[in-house]
Amino acid sequence: MKDYKLKIYCDFDGTVTKNDVWVSAFGKFIKDRKKFEIVCEEFISNVITARECNLRELDLIEDFSFEQLDKYLDEEELDDYFRDFLEYCSNNKYEITLLSEGLDYYINNILKREKLNLKFFSNKLVVKEIIDKNGKKSTKLTCEFTYPDENCFYCGMSKRNILINNTNDLDNEVSVFIGDGISDFCASNYADIVFAKKRLASYCWKNNITYHDFKNFQDVIEKLELLKSKNKIKHKLTAKNLRKDVFLGG
């Protein structure tokens, strides 16, 4: 039996955190709820891309201040068992990386508050000072997509690419993906082991992607231990072939 090494990739909003931080924190600065709902619905319905969704939502923000945002972020909580999961990964020498279609500012803020030094990839918040014709200054928020896929203009941050480029099949590394939402759909096709809830679970079920249900990270720990005990930690052939196709330019 091969000695496989797990590489764990985990969504942030609604997975590591209890809430979708983008919506629950930044969303408080959006006064036009109707326009906000339209953008969200168009994203859910696949009418607009993740990039468009991020940019349009940021464009709706009014009367923004970092001081107030930080107060909102102080209210955001982690999954009750996430620290246990980190300890579990540490004890087993499993590398964990956070992947987010969200923004670096609030991820950094929450990780720093929780005294967690974790590697993560996300979009980058950009702040611009706008001066109107009357000389009044205001803050304009936008973002940069620093980890894109050059052939894909849907995702802002390509979770798939990070997973593939940081997992070595030839070195017996097995990728584990944990997520809950639309931005996790693509990557779930390329992971060897998938833990899914909410919209991601529905997507996996509809697209015949093998996945494991979870409610919290205690579930993930227990199911990984069960897979280990049954010698089921291994590459998934369909995902491995898809990864190979990416490297070959397919």
- Please give the pLDDT value at position 3: 81
Fold of 5-247: Rossmann fold (3.40.50)
In the chain, the percentage of residues whose pLDDT exceeds 70 is 99
Note the pLDDT tens digit of each residue in 4-55: 899 999 999 999 999 999 999 999 999 999 999 999 999 999 999 999 999 9
Residue 22 to residues 28, 80, 152, Cα–Cα distance (Å): 9, 20, 23
- Please give the pLDDT value at position 179: 98
Residues 6+ apart with CB under 8 A from 83: none
- Please give the pLDDT value at position 219: 98
Max CA distance (Å), the chain: 72
Angle of helix 50-59 relative to helix 33-44, nearest 10 degrees? 180
Global confidence as pTM: 0.95
| CB contact at 8 A, 188 and 175 | no
Calpha distance 135→104 (Å, rounded): 30
Which residues are 141's β-sheet partners? Answer: 127
Angle of helix 104-113 relative to helix 66-74, nearest 10 degrees? 50
- Please give the pLDDT value at position 250: 52
Residues 6+ apart with CB under 8 A from 22: 13, 57, 102, 103, 106
Domain boundaries, the chain: 5-247
Could you give the 3-state DSSP secondary structure of residue 163? Answer: helix
- 226: tokens are 């069960």
Calpha distance 39→45 (Å, rounded): 10
Residue 128 to residues 67, 110, 125, 146, Cα–Cα distance (Å): 16, 23, 10, 17
- Taken as a whole, the chain contains a residue count of 250
Calpha distance 20→128 (Å, rounded): 24
Note the pLDDT tens digit of each residue in 182-237: 999 999 999 999 999 999 999 999 999 999 999 999 999 999 999 999 999 999 99
Residue 93's region, left for phi above 0, alpha for psi from -120 to 50, else beta, is left
